[in-house]
Chain A
Amino acid sequence: MLQVESITKRFGGVVANSDVSFSVDEGQIVGLIGPNGAGKSTMFNMISSIFPPTEGNILFCGKRIDLLPSYKVAPLGISRTFQNLQVFKNMTVIENVMVGQHMRTKQNLSGVASMLLGIAKNERKVYEEAMDILRFFNLELLYDQKASSLSLGKLRLLEFARAYATEPKLLLLDEIAAGLNHSETSEMSELIKRVRDSGVTILVVEHDMDLVMSICDKLVVLDQGMKIAEGAPKEIQANEAVIAAYLGAEIEEEVV
């Protein structure tokens, strides 16, 4: 479904990704892992077309997407969450989700005449769908709260719900469990599996190894911009290069 082909990304002199290739098959949960600075977020930003790669192609369902502006990627069926939380904080919870439904509810400024008469007719349908999505993510009781008043755990759920509302084929989750406690994390992993079961392919970037190991079908490991391993969680746990990379990182962190 998603093919990343020999991607290299340079920021000035800094090489963030170097010749990385991997693929994601339909119906899988794939984890992109690696120590800090491995280039995971950069890869994510390229897949969601926030910026283009320096070299290489990214194909989604056989179509090149690496040169599209980011608003054109969403209609193809790719959606994402943001590690640093980009919720629309001045809007209510349900309005956030309704923005997620934006492109599925066609009606543009040219339908100005209908606007004179009041709210467009499908507004109620959108609203009820949004409510269903909120129920799915256990957010229905907070629907009319301003997003800025939510706790971190709820904000992560809201990001997830908003991305899900675009009805993606591929969902990119960028450290969706960062900062969550144990019960919230396990709730999140259940949710991720349920979303996958509803027919959405999922690519996660994650630090929480327990979460990754328990939900992923396949893992891709990056270190210092390069892919060092790829395979099922069991294989990865036994992979020497991966262990070295993580241990090395830990030693470095201790030194610092």
Chain B
Amino acid sequence: MQDFLQFTLTGITIGSIYAIVALGFVTIYSVTKVINLAQGEFVMLGGLTMFSLVSVGVPYWLSFIATILFVTFIGWLMEFLLIRRAKGADAISLIILTIGTSIFIRGISSMVWGKDQHTVAPFMDNTPVTIGGASITPQSIWVVLIMLLVVGLMYMFIDKTMLGKAFQASSVNPMAARLMGISPKRMSSFSFVLSASLGAIAGLAIAPIIFPAYDMGAMLGIKGFSAAILGGLGSAPGAVIGGLLIGLFESMGAGYVSSGMKDIITFSIFLLILIIRPNGILGEKTIGKGGL
């Protein structure tokens, strides 16, 4: 029982990160229909930028802001330089484009930061807290809190602001949105900016826990993508549920079986769920083109 609680806490912590990455996928997908497999690289850039800033003595609060701004800029750049030029390409080409971007960013990062893992000090004193026999570090609590904050802010933004409404409109019906004067270009650009900043937040939050390295983005991206698919591509609540589930499968697999088996178990369960629910947990059935 104590073990179970411990694994659950670990699972929720890591799952929170996956949830944020998955939200990034959903944000871009819902507006542009692009699967951005470079999403994990935003997280990596977040973690490593945070490391560089903190290690030269920049205070934490300033590092946060600078990291988010920097990664957001990269996201904007990616949309402006690449995605926009490839409009009209088919789904396969777009996936390949983002994979290319991801490999490129990773290669450059390994030149800049080297291949070692880096250590970032936790946000505050990191003595583990014990809850019902299971221990959790304050940094993990930070991660979960940040995820909740992000989800809350996203909700507020989409539901309560004009920009959020425009965003929602262009994802539900791009044609109608365009007729109402919402620029699809601006929305596409904005979705990348938003999603890059989500990645940066995830990256800086887990930096103290997972020792960021240049190659961490690939696996985070894949898990985040799985979470988004599992939840039902395009559904924001689905992304959060998917992220937490993937985190839980992983920590249970690592805890009860072995850490080497955790990915095998996670992805096997993932495939099983897809067989049962081909459109994900909260996914809608795709509606065919009626009335030829």
Q: Are A11 and B290 in contact (CB under 8 A)?
A: yes
Verify if A83 is at the interface (C-beta below 8 Å from B): yes
Whether the pair A41, B291 counts as a contact (CB closer than 8 A) is yes
Which residues from 261 to 292 on chain B have a C-beta closer than 8 Å to any C-beta of chain A? 288, 290-292
| Beta-carbon contact of B288 and A42 below 8 Å | no
B292 touching A83, Cβ below 8 Å: yes
Pick the most buried of B288, B290, B291, B292: most chain A CB atoms within 10 A of its CB.
B292
A45 touches B288 (CB 8 A): no
* B: interface residue count bin: under 10
Please determine whether B290 and A82 come into contact, CB atoms closer than 8 angstroms.
Answer: no
Chain A residue numbers with a CB within 8 Å of B288 are 51
Tell me which residues from 11 to 50 in chain A have a Cβ below 8 Å from any Cβ of chain B: 11, 41-42, 44-45, 50
Task: Determine the residue in chain A with the shortest Cβ distance to B290.
Answer: A11
A84 touches B292 (CB 8 A): yes
Chain B residues, CB < 8 A from A82: 292
Chain B contact residues: helix, strand, loop or mixed:
loop
A51 to B287, CA, bound (A): 11
**Interface bits A165-202 vs B (CB < 8 Å: 1, else 0):** 00000000010000000000000000000000000000
CB distance from A159 to the nearest CB of B (A): 12
Q: How far is the CA of A50 from the CA of B292 in the complex (A)?
A: 10
Provide the residues of chain A in CB contact with B290, threshold 8 Å: 11, 42, 45, 51
Kindly list chain A residues whose C-beta atoms are within 8 Å of the C-beta of B291. 41-42, 45
Closest to A44 in B: B292
Q: Enumerate B143-169 residues with CB–CB distance to A below 8 Å.
A: none
The proximity string for A residues 67-91 relative to B, scoring 1 for CB distances below 8 Å and 0 otherwise, is 0000000000000001110100000
| A86 CB to nearest B CB, Å | 8
Residues of B within 8 A of A45 (CB): 290-292
Give B288's nearest chain A residue, CB to CB: A51
Contacts of A50 in B (CB 8 A): 292
Chain A hits for B292, CB < 8 A: 41, 44-45, 50, 82-84, 86, 174
Chain A 1-16, CB within 8 Å of chain B: the 1/0 string?
Answer: 0000000000100000
Residues of B within 8 A of A174 (CB): 292
Residues 77-104 of B, flagged 1 when their CB comes within 8 A of A and 0 if not, give 0000000000000000000000000000
Q: For residue A44, which residues in chain B have a CB less than 8 angstroms away from its CB? A: 292
CB proximity of A92 to chain B, nearest CB, Å: 22
**Across the interface, which residues of B come within 8 angstroms of A86, CB to CB?**
292
Closest to B291 in A: A41
One digit per residue, 1 when the CB lies within 8 angstroms of any chain A CB and 0 when it does not, for chain B 118-159 equals 000000000000000000000000000000000000000000
- Shortest A169–chain B CB gap in Å is 22
**B289 → chain A closest CB, angstroms:** 9
Chain B residue nearest to A9 in the complex (CB): B290
Interface residues of B in 233-260 (CB under 8 A from A): none
Chain B positions within 8 Å of A84 at CB level? 292
CA gap between A90 and B245 in the complex, in Å: 45
The chain B residue with its CB closest to the CB of A42 is B291
Distance A51 CA – B291 CA, assembled complex (angstroms) = 10
A44–B290 alpha-carbon span in the complex (Å): 12
A84 to B291 CA separation, bound complex (whole angstroms): 10
Q: Please measure, in the bound complex, the distance between the C-alpha atom of A86 and the C-alpha atom of B291, giving whole angstroms.
A: 14
- Measured in the bound complex, the distance between the Cα atoms of B292 and A130 in whole Å is 27
Chain B residues with Cβ under 8 A from A83's Cβ? Answer: 292
Q: How far is the CA of A45 from the CA of B290 in the complex (A)?
A: 9
Task: Compute how far the CA of A45 lies from the CA of B292 in the bound complex, rounded to whole angstroms.
Answer: 8
Q: CA separation between A11 and B292, bound complex, in Å? A: 14
In the bound assembly, the distance between CA atoms of A44 and B291 in angstroms comes to 10
Distance between Cα atoms of A82 and B290 in the complex (Å)? 13
* Distance of A82 Cα from B289 Cα, bound (Å): 14
A/B interface sample: 8 pairs, CB < 8 A: A11-B290, A41-B291, A41-B292, A45-B291, A50-B292, A82-B292, A83-B292, A86-B292
15 extra interface residue pairs, beta carbon distance < 8 Å, beyond A42-B291, A84-B292: A11-B290, A41-B291, A41-B292, A42-B290, A44-B292, A45-B290, A45-B291, A45-B292, A50-B292, A51-B288, A51-B290, A82-B292, A83-B292, A86-B292, A174-B292
5 A-B pairs closest in CB distance: A41-B291, A82-B292, A84-B292, A11-B290, A45-B292
Chain B residues engaging chain A, CB cutoff 8 angstroms: 288, 290-292
